[in-house]
Amino acid sequence: MTSYLNDNTIALRALEPTDLDTLYRWENDTTLWVASDTIAPYSREALWHYLKEYTGDIYAQRQLRLMITLADDGTPVGTVDFLNFDPLNNRAELGLFIERDSRGKGLGRRALSLLTAYARDHIGLRQLYVFIAIDNEACLNLFKAFGYQQVGILKSWVKRGMSYRDAVLMQMIFN
């Protein structure tokens, strides 16, 4: 059965305390930090506190993070985030992460499809936007194929080592 949060291949679900080890592994993988603003590792205690205090109330926390799992067995394969939620203007920044071993299988596209319908039809957002490093071709292609429009280039936006890369600002506006 397809719903806002499940398409029979993947499911989006709330974070659970049992996600601690998975989040710890993903958040502390320094090879992934180039796609985020992370500059230091997270402790288990900090992540436990985050999970314990996390309500999933996008209006109270201005963020909603969902775990992407395989629908058949519940194996976590990534996360999706609504960040910087602005209820006045009905918009949010979008974050999408698929773990390395699960990439190239269409899971990001499926998650983006579910997440977009959920944002538009359930939460009532008017628009979503993403910042993507200009050298992240796979991510740029995914969002372009899904109908996101490039609306700007942010110069020297993403630090990589001791140099900087431009970022593409992309936007999806719902009619």
Q: Please list the pLDDT of the chain residue by residue as tens digits (175 residues).
A: 457 799 999 999 999 999 999 999 998 887 777 667 777 889 999 999 999 988 889 999 999 999 999 999 999 999 999 999 999 999 999 999 999 999 999 999 999 999 999 999 999 999 999 999 999 999 999 999 999 999 999 999 988 878 899 999 999 999 8
The pair of three-digit structure tokens given for residue 13, joined into one six-digit string = 């679900």
Residue 34 lies in a domain: yes
Residue 2 is predicted with a pLDDT of: 56
* 29: in domain: yes
Sheet (strand 76-86) strand order: 10-14, 64-70, 76-86, 91-98, 127-133, 163-173, 149-160
Query: Domain with 111 in it: what CATH number?
Result: 3.40.630.30
How far apart are alpha carbons 152 and 167 in whole angstroms? 8
Residue 42 lies in a domain: yes
The answer to whether residue 171 sits within a structural domain is no
Q: Which of 35, 14, 56 is nearest to 98 (CA)?
A: 35
Give the 3-state secondary structure percentages of the chain, helix then strand then coil, rounded to 5: 35, 35, 30
The domain containing residue 50 runs over which residues? Answer: 10-128
Q: Does 155 map to a domain?
A: no
Residue 124 inside a domain? The answer is yes
Q: pTM, whole model, 2 decimals? A: 0.90
CB 119 within 8 A of CB 92: yes
Query: Rounded to an integer, what distance in angstroms lies between the CA atom of residue 11 and that of residue 72?
Result: 9
pLDDT computed for residue 37 by the predictor = 72
Tell me, yes or no, whether 114 lies in a domain: yes
Please report whether residue 70 resides in a domain: yes
The amino acid at residue 40 is A
Q: How many domains does the chain have?
A: 1
Q: What is the CA angle 86-32-108, rounded to 5?
A: 65
